[in-house]
Amino acid sequence: MPLALDDQTAIVDFARQAEIGLVVIGPEQPLVEGLADMLRAAGIAVFGPSAAAARLEGSKGFTKALCDRAGVPTAAYESFTDAAQAKRALPRFGLPVVIKADGLAAGKGVVIATTAIEAERAIDDMIGGRFGAAGASLVIEQFLEGEEVSFFALSDGKTVIPFGSAQDHKRVGEGDSGPNTGGMGAYSPARVLTPDLEARVMAEIVRPSVAAMAKAGTPFAGVLFAGLMLTETGPQLIEYNVRFGDPECQVLMLRLGEDLLPLLHAVATGTLTDRAIAWTADAALTVVMAADGYPDAPRTGGAIMGIDAAEATGAHVFHAGTRNAPAGVLSSGGRVLAVTASAPDVAQAQAAAYRAVDAIDFPTGFCRRDIGWREVARG
């Protein structure tokens, strides 16, 4: 039966009637809106945080305040609901400066402004309604210098264990140019996050955050996705997501060397044990094929052919913004496909992923041709 993703009552009723044993919530919106709470109240095991804990992604200001309380290293910031006050604060941050919509904006509510005019325009856009309610308040942050990396951890509210690293490519254009998107590709593992740095992230960022959530009476159970900046003084938190994330999830799943289901169930039932996750020795890389016009005005309805040919190369093609039609597969969103391959190192995984990309015929789509460039350049 078709279910509306925003009809939480219908989802819970279906899960109960179908005797679903475990629900895994992928997107951020239903988490922030409390779907996990409703499922738990119905006696259904669920992988995903409560609405109160999902505020770690749902509100930038909430997360920044938690960092203050827990002593988590992060960029200096101020929160605003008034455009004039926000503009008056800009000189305190210098340039470049980061302007963020406080709420959920599908990965697009971040502007790195290099001029005062650009920063003021971003403030006007956000508070003026470009991102709806997500921009009714905003956060101005100090710009951090360094290399960005994604780190994941599983938590059942008490036990916290690492769950791998990746590096995303947020900008729409090659060479990391153009506006931010939900992600144009990723690779894993991110070697730049060394074992020593990973240990620091767990000790200085992830564990204190989970402990602070528990102390506040809102324990975090699910996957905690930390966006990090590796600065000269060490890792600093950029932001949290409360889900596996896209396109990082694709590369993590290709590398996972054990069954995911028992891990999800352990998190959902509060029985997670402190142990190392099994990973394959290979690297993985994914290339997002997006619709022309993304991220501002994606052109949907374009025909997509050659998916079978792409998978015949050994790659995995994950669908995101597609739909089936009598004529075949058509695009139905901004980010359409995630073409993913694994190999002994990132350079080989990159070559394999682009061989699969080149087998796909998607005339109204595009992709970046440089996913993984930092890691490949490191050799």
1 pLDDT above the threshold of 80: no
Band (pLDDT 50/70/90 cuts) for residue 379 is confident
Residue 139 token pair: 């956060």
Per-residue pLDDT of 178-204, as tens digits, reads: 988 989 999 999 999 999 999 999 999
Q: What mean pLDDT value characterizes the chain?
A: 96
* Strand ranges inside the chain, DSSP E: 22-24, 45-47, 77-80, 97-101, 110-113, 138-142, 147-156, 160-168, 171-173, 177-180, 185-188, 221-231, 234-241, 283-291, 303-304, 316-319, 322-325, 328-331, 335-343, 365-366
The reported pTM is: 0.94
350 pLDDT above the threshold of 70: yes
How far is C-alpha 213 from the chain's CA centre? 20
62 pLDDT above the threshold of 80: yes
Q: Between these two residues, 270 and 131, which has the higher pLDDT value?
A: 270
247 pLDDT above the threshold of 80: yes
Which residue blocks in 183-302 are alpha helix, DSSP H?
Answer: 195-201, 207-215, 248-255, 260-269
* Residue length of the chain: 379
171 pLDDT above the threshold of 80: yes
Residue 224 token pair: 């905690």
Residues 101, 264: contact at Cβ < 8 Å? no
Cα gap 42→44, rounded to integer Å: 6
Residues 222, 157: contact at Cβ < 8 Å? no
Report pLDDT for 306: 98
Cα gap 209→197, rounded to integer Å: 17
Per-residue pLDDT of 329-340, as tens digits, reads: 999 999 999 999
Per-residue pLDDT of 99-144, as tens digits, reads: 999 998 876 788 999 999 999 999 999 999 888 887 889 999 999 9
